[in-house]
């Protein structure tokens, strides 16, 4: 169960979160990922607390651990000719190169697009920036919270318009990494057809704007400007967090049939014209929220969830992270993976969102999800192994072909 990308080699020059997230996703799918770090290491190795200390007292950043499993680590100072030569050798062998320097930095280090494609015409390059690789503000450094604010997400998040709020995880970085990995797979598919590599570009700004979903078209089409309004959906009602005795539950009434079932289950007036349609319920949300708070006020959360389930109303609780990782459903989806870290011993990490299955002629499924995960590497831990490997012959590559034919690789293999 080595994964569908087994045989692909990824050279990961990125640091912080967006690029490393993309690299980890490719590694989770079976690619060999060699993480190239500066002699001081990825910035996130120093981000904390919290740190976890090994038996010898060495601190390991939990931030770094979150986005660097299934990678090897080698340190290179690309301003030194001998280290730049090592990167030359890696690029010649690579299928994919990841970088999230500010636009122009890699060129100044001697590895601009022309040089990379000269070294390896079949190379797919993923380049992630903060605000895009061109345009009047391409030069800006990108950090997640700044991007959340600049891309409008904070204006939609929080209790009200006067209190903009960032999302509780670095969502701009994570989305950029996910988009980047998706783009890499598309470029590899294109390489199968043409034999040529491609440059894939995305940014924190692009990734957040592209995720505006209905809030985007709410403005671009309807000219209605969304704003933060707490834990209730702006266009569906009732859909949000509702207080009850000793806690709260979340409810999602996605259509009128669900609303009628909710009314029947809790003795509400189904013929009240204020709440007859979803548009009516949205227009009268404050009154409906107060009505449901009064209805649920004497019901404990577990009992309320049971009654909602019996009525066929989608509902759920708000779990803390310790509850999430102890939840059997989380574990059943392989969302925790155990690895043996060189310094920390056995540690558990949040797992991949993807599972893969082979299906035979009878329709029977066999899971092929990768389970033999490598731990996030200690800085430079694989330098000798990688250098010894580079001392061997360069694998033979397919010759670039026209778009009518097929060619397949024969290689083995936050601040942005």
Q: Note the pLDDT tens digit of each residue in 248-267.
A: 999 999 999 999 999 999 99
Q: How far apart are CA 323 and CA 132, in angstroms?
A: 38
pLDDT band at 1 (very low <50, low <70, confident <90, very high): low
My answer on whether 150 and 251 are in the same domain is no
pLDDT band at 412 (very low <50, low <70, confident <90, very high): very low
pLDDT of res. 3: 87
pLDDT at 2 over 90: no
pLDDT of res. 397: 62
pLDDT band at 311 (very low <50, low <70, confident <90, very high): very high
* Domains in the chain, number: 2
Tell me, rounded to whole angstroms, the distance of Cα 342 from its chain centroid: 26
Q: What is the pTM of this model?
A: 0.90
pLDDT band at 399 (very low <50, low <70, confident <90, very high): very low
CATH number, domain at 294?
Answer: 3.30.1540.10
* Residue 173 is among the residues annotated as catalytic for this protein: yes
pLDDT at 79 over 60: yes
pLDDT of res. 405: 38
Task: Classify residue 413: in a domain, yes or no.
Answer: no
Q: Span 190-205, mean pLDDT?
A: 97
CATH number, domain at 159?
Answer: 3.40.50.10540
pLDDT of res. 402: 40
Let me know how long the chain is: 416
My answer on whether 117 and 80 are in the same domain is yes
What pLDDT, in 10s, does the model give residues 108-166? Answer: 999 999 999 999 999 999 999 999 999 999 999 999 999 999 999 999 999 999 999 99
Q: How far apart are CA 127 and CA 138, in angstroms?
A: 13
pLDDT band at 56 (very low <50, low <70, confident <90, very high): confident
| Token code pair at residue 64 | 């770094």
pLDDT of res. 350: 96
Q: Span 304-325, mean pLDDT?
A: 97
My answer on whether 248 and 126 are in the same domain is no
pLDDT at 205 over 90: yes
pLDDT of res. 394: 81
pLDDT of res. 416: 53
pLDDT of res. 411: 38
pLDDT of res. 55: 83
| Antiparallel, parallel or unpaired: β 9-12 and 96-99 | parallel
**DSSP code of residue 192:** H
Of 271, 296, 316, the one marking the end of a domain is: 316
Q: Span 186-209, mean pLDDT?
A: 97
pLDDT of res. 409: 38
My answer on whether 50 and 180 are in the same domain is yes
Placement of tokens 């989305």 in the chain: 175
Contact between 304 and 316 under an 8 Å Cβ cutoff? The reply is no
pLDDT band at 413 (very low <50, low <70, confident <90, very high): very low
Task: Classify residue 222: in a domain, yes or no.
Answer: no
The range of the structural domain enclosing residue 251 comes to: 239-316
In the set 12, 95, 173, 414, the catalytic residue is 173
Angle between helices 18-28 and 171-194 (to 10 degrees): 50
Average pLDDT of the chain to the nearest whole number: 93
Nearest to 88 by CA among 409, 411, 394: 394
Task: Classify residue 35: in a domain, yes or no.
Answer: yes
pLDDT of res. 400: 44
Task: Classify residue 299: in a domain, yes or no.
Answer: yes
Contact between 352 and 28 under an 8 Å Cβ cutoff? The reply is yes
């Amino acid at each position: 169960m080595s994964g569908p990308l087994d045989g692909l080699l990824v050279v990961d020059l990125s640091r912080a979160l967006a690029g490393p997230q993309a690299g980890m996703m490719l590694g989770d799918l079976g690619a060999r990922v060699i993480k190239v770090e500066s002699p001081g290491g990825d910035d996130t190795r120093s981000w904390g607390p919290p740190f976890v200390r090994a038996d010898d007292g060495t601190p390991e950043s939990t931030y770094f651990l979150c986005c660097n499993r299934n990678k090897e680590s080698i340190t290179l100072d690309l301003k030194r000719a001998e280290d730049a030569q090592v990167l030359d050798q890696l690029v010649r062998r690579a299928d994919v190169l990841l970088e999230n320097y500010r636009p122009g930095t890699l060129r100044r280090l001697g590895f601009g697009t022309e040089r990379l494609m000269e070294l390896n015409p079949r190379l797919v390059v993923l380049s992630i920036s903060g605000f895009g690789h061109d345009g009047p503000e391409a030069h800006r450094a990108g950090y997640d919270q700044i991007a959340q604010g600049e891309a409008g997400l904070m204006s939609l998040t929080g209790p009200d318009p006067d209190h903009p709020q960032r999302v509780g995880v670095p969502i701009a970085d994570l989305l950029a990494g996910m988009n980047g990995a998706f783009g890499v797979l598309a470029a590899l598919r294109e390489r199968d057809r043409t034999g040529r590599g491609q440059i894939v570009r995305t940014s924190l700004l692009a990734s957040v704007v592209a995720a505006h979903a209905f809030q985007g078209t709410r403005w671009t089409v309807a000219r209605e400007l969304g704003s933060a309004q707490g834990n209730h959906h702006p266009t569906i009602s009732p859909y949000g967090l509702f207080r009850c005795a000793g806690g709260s539950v979340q409810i999602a009434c996605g259509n009128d049939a669900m609303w009628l079932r909710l009314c029947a289950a809790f003795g509400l007036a189904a013929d009240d014209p204020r709440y007859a349609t979803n548009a009516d319920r949205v227009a009268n949300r404050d009154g409906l929220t107060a009505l449901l708070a009064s209805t649920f006020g004497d019901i404990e959360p577990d009992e309320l969830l049971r009654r909602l389930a019996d009525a066929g109303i989608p509902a759920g609780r708000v779990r803390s992270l310790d509850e999430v990782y102890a939840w059997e459903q989380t574990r059943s989806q392989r969302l925790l993976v155990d690895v043996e870290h060189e310094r920390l011993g056995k540690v558990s990490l949040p797992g991949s969102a993807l599972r893969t299955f082979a299906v035979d002629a009878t329709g029977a499924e066999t899971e092929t999800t990768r389970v033999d995960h490598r731990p996030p590497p200690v800085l430079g831990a694989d330098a000798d192994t990688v250098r010894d490997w580079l001392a061997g012959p360069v694998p033979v590559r397919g010759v670039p072909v026209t778009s009518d034919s097929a060619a397949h690789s024969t290689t083995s293999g936050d601040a942005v």
